[in-house]
Chain A
Amino acid sequence: MTDVKNTVAPALEDESQKPSIFGFWLYLMTDTVLFASLFATFIVLRGRTAGGVSGEEIFSLPYVFIETLILLISSFVAGLALFTARARRKALTISLLLVTGLLGLAFLAMEIHEFRTLVTEGHGWGTSAFLSSYFTLVGTHGLHILIGLIWLGVSIMFILQRGFTDRFLTRLTMWSMFWHFLDVIWIGIFTIVYLVGIV
């Protein structure tokens, strides 16, 4: 890893002057605004349980903590993969990306399992305004994770077939920004939806 350690790595800063990277940054900002409106909707409707369950009754603290850990580690490994990609270490990069992807899949599986349990126990999105806004907010984040995973799969295929081209490294930088961004949104979700919901 020594030569990896000294590389100019993810070079987000070096690349921040590239119009394409800045453009992608602007996209992330607009996506943040999308999530802000979903957060606002949730905060306004969180008490409207229509006689159904409240957050305190359905959220499990350890379960959400494990989800948080998985996503945080996944985000960290994604950053490492960008370092190794800069150093053009093919096998190492692919294994790190696979670890990132598996963690992302585990997170998505946990979220789907949580949704399934809620729906089968009769707490679907049609039950109350609280549950509608909950499913919309957390589900939109989950959908972003799914898109990130598909993008990751395509990236791994690209490395296998064509190796590290300069344009590919720029695209991988964008993907890692996207993945970190989803972790930042998750901070908002676990704090506002789950922690405050349980308190």
Chain B
Amino acid sequence: MKKHIQPLPDHRKPTITAYITGFVLSLTLSGAAFALVWAYHISDNELMSRGLLLAILTLFAIAQIVVQATYFLHMSAERRARMTLVSAAFTLVVIFAIIVGSMWIMYNLDYNMIPEDPTQYIQNEENIHVTSQ
């Protein structure tokens, strides 16, 4: 088995330096995500809109996963590792279908089911502000 495996070119070999780079990047991104939520919290939620913060947090999470996959799990687009990448891409499609599909369907179910106080519920959902008479 072993003799079929060609050694990697020197510059592609995983080194301790690459590991440290990955570690520092992960640390920075995690720290930034926590710091952002903390800053949002102490500014009484006025730092930015909630939607923007959620979008930034999602980007940070994706960046961290990419950093760890690259530096710690050594994923790459090289041909020698092609099947690894293909299986990862397939997994991503499945994850997307499960998570986004669930959110989509359940939100619609949720929306279409009549809650205990329908009037109040619809007013909240549609942002209708009824002044009391």
* Interface hit among A94-102, A113-121, A140-148, A188-196: A188-196
Tell me, yes or no, whether A92 is within 8 Å of chain B by CB: no
User: Which one, B12, B61, B81, contacts A191 given CB within 8 A?
Assistant: B61
Q: What 0/1 readout, one digit per residue, does chain B (31-52) give for beta carbons within 8 Å of chain A?
A: 0011001101100000000100
**Cβ-defined partner of B5 (8 Å) among A9, A14, A32, A190:** A14
On chain B, the number of residues with a Cβ less than 8 Å from chain A's Cβ atoms is 54
Q: Which of B16, B22, B72, B88 has the most CB of A within 10 A?
A: B72
Contact between chains at A79 and B72 (CB < 8 Å)? yes
Q: Which residues of B contact A39 (CB under 8 A)?
A: 99
Q: Could you give, for residues 30-45 of chain A, a 1 whenever the CB lies within 8 Å of some chain B CB and a 0 otherwise?
A: 0011001101110110
Q: Decide if the interface of chain B is mainly helix, strand, loop or mixed.
A: helix
Secondary structure at the A interface, as helix, strand, loop or mixed, is helix
B83 CB → nearest A CB, Å: 6
Interface code B90-102, partner A: CB below 8 Å = 1, 0 otherwise?
A: 1100110011011
Instruction: Output the nearest chain B residue to A65 by Cβ-Cβ distance.
Output: B34
Residues from chain B with a CB closer than 8 A to the CB of A17 are 4-5, 80
Interface residues on chain A, number (Cβ under 8 Å):
52
| Residue from the set B5, B90, B103 with the largest chain A CB neighbour count within 10 Å | B5
Residues on the B chain within 8 Å of A83, using CB:
16, 19
Distance, CA A93 to CA B7, complexed state (A): 24
Q: Is the CB of B37 within 8 A of A180?
A: no
Most chain A beta carbons < 10 A, residue from B5, B23, B34, B61: B34
Interface residues, chain A, CB within 8 Å of chain B? 1, 4-5, 8-18, 22, 25-26, 29, 32-33, 36-37, 39-41, 43-44, 61, 64-65, 68-69, 72, 75-76, 79-80, 83, 177, 180-181, 183-184, 187-188, 190-192, 195-196, 198-199
